[in-house]
Structure 1
Amino acid sequence: MVDNDSRRAPARRTLLRRCGVAFVAVAVATVSLAAPVAAHVRSDGAPLAKGGYGIVRLTVPGESDTADTIGLTVTIPTGVDLKSARTQPVPGWNATVERERTGSGERVSKIVWTADSAGGYSGAEYQEFSFSGGPWPTDRDSLALPADQRYSDGSVVSWNEVALDKDSKPEHPAPVVALTAATGDHGSGHDTEEPDHHGDTAAASASSGVGWQALTVVNLVLALAAVTAAVTVLRRTRGTDA
C-alpha cells in the first residue's frame, strides 16, 4: 500500500517547481526594471523646443570588460548652429566646448568630456552627461547627436548610426533627441541669448530623483509579490501534509 506522503510528494514537487518558476520570472522582471540603461549611449527622451534652448541628458554605460570609459565626444551635426552650450559638472571629469567658424559667425561643433586620473568607470557602471544649449533647429522633428566613447585601452566606439525606418535596429545607434514646437514665451525661437537654466537643471534633477524612487517602489512591490507567492504555496503544501 502506498502511504499518503508518497502520493502527496509529486504534488508538492509540482507546486514547488511552479513557485520557483514564478519567483524567477518576477525576479528577472525586477532586475530588468532596475537596469538604469540599455547597452548603448542614449538621451533621456526629453524633447527640446524648436528654435529655443534646452537641456540634453545622455546616459553612457561602460561596455568593456577589460577597459574603463575615460572620454565622450558629442558632435553637433553640420547645419545645426548652436550659439552656445554649457556643460553640467561631473565629478572626476573635465568638459570642453569646441567651436568653429561659420558664414555668420561661430557655432558649437563638439562637446568633449575627459576623465581625470580617477574619473573613469568600468563596464559594470554608467555615467550621465548633460549640456544646455541652443537655439535648436526648427526644420526637423528629431536630431541625432553622434557620440564617440573612448576607453582606457585606446579603443573608441562610435555611436553614429541612424535608423532608416522604425523597424531598423542599428548596431551602434546615435542618441536622438526629439524637437517639438515651442510653447509660451520661453524658448519661442525669438531668444537671442541662452536663458538661465539653473532652475531647469534643478527641476530635472528632482524629476530624475522622483523617477528612480518610483522605480524602486515598483521593484519592491514585485519582490514582495514573489515572496508572498512562495509563502502561500508553502503554507498550502504544509496544510495538505497535516
Structure 2
Amino acid sequence: MSTNRFGARTLVRGGAVLAVAGIAALLAAGTASAHVTAQPGEATKGGYAKITLRVPNERPNNGTVKLQVNLPADHPLASVSTKPVPGWKAEITKGKLDKPVKVHNTDVTEAVRSVTWTADAGVRIEPGQFNEFDMSVGPLPDDTDRLVLPTTQTYDNGEVVVWDAPPVADGAAEPAHPAPTVKLVDKAAGGDSHSHDAAAPAGDSHDASTGTDKTARWLGGAGLAVGALGLGFGAGAVLRSRRTGAAAPAADREPSA
C-alpha cells in the first residue's frame, strides 16, 4: 500500500473521531438541559412575577400527562393564578397555614399549596417535545434568596419522576432531579417590584433561560461544529489522496495483479 493511501486512511480516521466527539458533545448538551426548570432564573423580592415551568419529555416512548408543582409552605404565596394551556386543565389547591403571615400588612391564613395541570384525553407532551406552564405569583418572599418549587412529572405509562432535590453550592455536582428554582434578588434602586424579566421581549421566553440551558445550547452548537469539521476533514483527505494518486508517475504506483 502506498504512503499516500496510508496517510489518507489515517486522516479519514481522525476526521471520524472528531465527528464522533462532536456528536457526543451534542448528546451531552441535550442531557444537561433535559430538566424541569423555572423561568426566568431571577425575580424580585417582594414583587409579583410570571414563573414558567418548562417541561421536557425525557422518555422515548411515553408522554407526559400530568404536572404538579408544590409551593413552599414556609414562604406562602397569597396570589397564584394560571394561564390557560390548550388541552390541559389547571387545578389550584389551597390550605390553611399553621401560622398566619403578614403580606402587605394583612394577615394571611390561607395560601396556595400546589398547582396541578392534567392533560385532556389524547393530549400529552410527546417524546422529543416540551411544553410550558405559566403562573402569575406574588408577593414573592423578601426573607429568602430563592424560591424552590418541587415538581412531580407523570407519564402515561404510570411512571412518576419527582424533581425535588434542593439547590447545591456553586461548583458542586448537579443532582439527578433538581427542583425548579428561582433566584430572588433585591429590588433595584428606583425600580418597581414586578417580574425581574420584565425587559425580556414579548413572546420570547427562551431568552430568559438559566445558565445551564445556555451552556447546553453552546455545547450543542460546538458539538455540531466539531462534527462538521471532522467530516469535512476526512472528506478532504480522501479527495486529496485520489488526486495525488492520479498524478503520481506510473512507476510509483503499485503493480497490478
Q: TM-score, normalised by structure 2?
A: 0.72
Q: Deviations over 1:147-205 (max 9, x none)?
A: 111222334222112145442543332111111111244217xxxxxx9x9x9598353
- Larger RCO (CA within 8 A; separation ≥ 6): 2
Please point out which of 107, 110, 115 is paired with 2:111: 107
Match of 1:240 among 232, 241, 244: 244
Match of 1:176 in 2: 181
The alpha carbon displacement at 1:230 in A equals 3.8
1:158 aligns with 2:162: yes
Q: Is the 8 A contact 1:23 1:230 kept in 2?
A: no
Quick one: which of 181, 202, 205 aligns to 2:203? 205
Q: In structure 2, which of residues 65, 78, 86 is the aligned counterpart of residue 70 of structure 1?
A: 65
Residues 63/208 of structure 1: CA separation in 2 closer, same or farther (3 Å cut): closer
Q: How far did residue 116 of structure 1 move?
A: 0.6
Question: How far, CA to CA, are the matches of 1:159 and 1:221 in structure 2?
Answer: 30
Structure-2 residue corresponding to 1:51: 46
Gaps of 5+ in 2: 101-106, 248-257
Q: Which ranges in structure 1 are unaligned for 5 or more consecutive residues?
A: 189-194
Written as runs of structure 1 = structure 2, the 5 A alignment for 1:80-95 is 80-95=75-90
**Identical amino acids, percent of aligned pairs:** 32
Q: Does structure 2 conserve the Cα–Cα contact (< 8 Å) formed by 1:62 and 1:69?
A: yes
Residues 207 and 40 of structure 1: CA distance in aligned 2, closer, same or farther (over 3 Å) = closer
Please identify the structure whose Cα radius of gyration is greater: 2
Q: TM-score, normalised by structure 1?
A: 0.76
Deviation, structure 1 residue 10: 1.5
Change (3 A) 1:163 1:178: closer
Q: CA deviation at 1:129?
A: 2.0
Residue 148 of structure 2: which of 131, 144, 149 is its match?
Answer: 144
Separation in structure 2 between the aligned mates of residue 9 and residue 226 of structure 1, nearest angstrom: 19
Correspondence for 1:7? 3
